[in-house]
Structure formats: structure tokens, C-alpha cells
Amino acid sequence: MFDSIVDLDALMPIMGFRRLNLATLEDVKLKRRSVGSVGGCSNNQLEPNQKEWIYKTAIGDLDAVTRLLLQDRSLVKYKDFVSGYTGLHWACKLGRLDMVHVLIAADSDINARAFNGMTPLHMAAQCGYGDIIDVLIKEKADKLTRDNNGKYPVFYLPSRTPDKIKELLSPPPPPSSKPRSIGTPRALTRRPSTSSLDDALKRTRKDSSETDTKHVKQYMSLPVKKGRSARKALPHWFS
């Protein structure tokens, strides 16, 4: 009854809706298939050896890892599509020193960064594996690489870590800044105390008073003649 009074096809575009027909539904299905099974991801499927590599490195199966590397050595640089971890990341996280040696010998990127910015050295430091940290540092792992939180690997060391490992991961001290030399500095003289100044003033006053008395006596001893004074002019400090 409502359809006979109001034209729904004319009203729905005004209200912001549209009626889906079978052709529109088929278009939606085709778009979903072209995008892939995971929302927004490519439909490129993983190869069987890549799937096995992700699983075997995550559980630390060294025999399977060695077998896969003999088949395809490029897997050593393959990253997990979820976390971005390489096989070396997982080996450092699990504390598998033997697996670390195998992956480094297979030319693994020792400074590879996961999606969170962590390197294998971050993973080893986070779990406190000192033997793996020592091996990574000897293989020129960069201990000054920051993760996405801006933290060095040394930040993740547990509190029980020996001081030797802490010193191994500690960043070098900044270079000492020497002040610029601007000429030869003046020799600093000791400021005289108040008592020494008072003593110096007293000596100066005593000497001056004795000198004045001497000149006055000399002036008074001069003879006086008629018409003209034979006394010489007083010194300039008496005028």
C-alpha cells in the first residue's frame, strides 16, 4: 500500500540510500575477490617454503631451518608479514645461539629492523642473553640503533644483567668539548683584605704628616729682612 502512494525508487536517492540489484551484488563480490581474502591486503599467497620458514623459525627448529636454507638461501632475509621478524630475530628472542651462528653464516642482515623498529640486538637485550649479545657485537651489530620508541638496546636489559654486558651495550660517551683559547689569560691577583688596606692608609698618612712638619720647620727657620721677605714660597701642596 505504501509503495502505491510513494515512489520508493525516487525517494531512496533523496534519503541517501540506493536499492541494490543483482548486478550490483556481483560487482561487490568481484571487488572483494580482487582485493584479497584479508581486508586491504594483496592476494599474493605465500609460498609453501615461506610458510614453513615462518613457522620453523618461530619455534626454533634448527634442522628444518638448515634444510630450508639449503633449498632457498634467500629465506634468510624473509620477514614475517605480521611482526616483520626475520629468522635472526626469532633466534635471538628464543636464545638459540646455535641458530644465530647458522643464520649469520648464511648472510643474515644483522641490523634488520622489524615493524616496531627492533633489531636482533634489541631482542637479545630484551631477554638478557649475554652470549648472543656478545656474538652480535663481534659481528658489528649497531648498538646505537633506536626502535620506534626511540630506545637503544641497552634500555631493555634486565636489572640482573652483569655489568660486563651493560658496558658492552652502553653507548660511547660524547666527545669532551675543550674551551677555545682566546689569547693568554691574565694572571689573577689576590684581592687585598680590608685590614691590609687600612694599614697602608695609616702608613701613608704618617709619612705625609712627618713631611709637612719638616717643611714647616724649615720655612719658619728662614730669616726675615726689611722690605722683603727672605722666606721662599711654600711648596705647592701648601698653597
User: One digit per residue, pLDDT tens: the chain, 239 residues?
Assistant: 444 555 555 555 554 545 545 455 455 455 444 444 333 344 567 788 889 999 999 999 999 999 999 999 999 999 988 899 999 999 999 999 999 999 999 999 999 999 999 999 999 999 999 999 999 999 999 999 999 999 999 999 998 888 888 888 887 776 665 555 555 555 555 555 556 666 766 666 666 666 666 665 565 566 655 555 544 444 544 44
Q: What dotted CATH number matches 48-169?
A: 1.25.40.20
The neighbour count for residue 102, using CB atoms within 10 Å, is 19
Rounded to the nearest angstrom, the gap between the alpha carbon of residue 226 and the centroid of all alpha carbons in its chain is 102
**DSSP alpha helix (H) spans, 160-235:** 163-169, 194-220
Q: Is the dihedral angle over the CA atoms 193, 196, 201, 202 positive or is it negative?
A: positive
**DSSP structural state of residue 191:** P
User: And the C-alpha cell for 134?
Assistant: 656478545
Please choose, from the candidates 118, 108, 66, the residue with its C-alpha nearest in 3D space to the C-alpha of residue 88: 108
User: What's the CA gap between 93 and 89, in Å, rounded?
Assistant: 6
- What residue segments make up the domains of the chain, in order of their start? 2-32, 48-169
